[in-house]
Structure formats: C-alpha cells, structure tokens
Amino acid sequence: MIDTEQLIQEYEKLSDEYSLAKSHKTYLEEFKKSLHAILMKRAEAEGAKSVSAQERDAYANEEYIAHLRVTEEQEKSEVKSRYHLKRLEMEYEIWRTQQANERYITR
C-alpha cells in the first residue's frame, strides 16, 4: 500500500532537485557563450588576428574544456533527477490502477 502523503512529499523534494539541476544546466549552457566570447577577446589580445584563430584558441582553452566537463556532469544530474521524478509518477499510476482494479473486483 502506498502512502500518498509520503509520495507527495517525495515528489516535492524531487521536483526541487530537478528544477535546481535544470536551472544550473541552463546557466552553464548560457555562460558557455560568455566564456567563449571572453576567451576570444583574450586570444585577440594575445595576437590572434582573425576570428577563426580566436575561435580556435577559445575552443582549445583549458577553461573552456573544463566548463564543458562541468556542463556534462550537470546534464547527468538533470537526467537522473528527471528519471527519479518519472519513476515516482509511474509508481503513482501503478497504485491508481491497482486501486481501480480492487474497486472493480469488489463490485
């Protein structure tokens, strides 16, 4: 038997975790653009004249690569949080189906 109050509390907790993970990932994705621009300006200051040379230097920069790794980890966190929410929703739907079946049987 499922405790619906506990299910709701767990859902709220997981929703908070998911929204935090999703918002952090969105921030990282948007910051990537700023970081790219910052690194291109730095490359220009260091002598890269063409835009393609600045982009090459920006994409090859360790800061950019590290940012991509952090973004990857955040993506994993978001997907995991979303999976836990979906699992909880499925458990609730299974419980609802069982309740409907029990009502049908007792008629």
**What average pLDDT does the chain have?**
94
The pLDDT value recorded for residue 14 is 94
Is pTM beyond 0.85? Reply is: no
**CA atoms of 70 and 90, how far apart (whole Å):** 30
The pLDDT value recorded for residue 101 is 93
Query: pLDDT band for position 1 (50/70/90)?
Result: low
13-52 confidence digits (pLDDT tens): 999 999 999 999 999 999 999 999 999 999 999 999 999 9
Residue 2 DSSP class = -
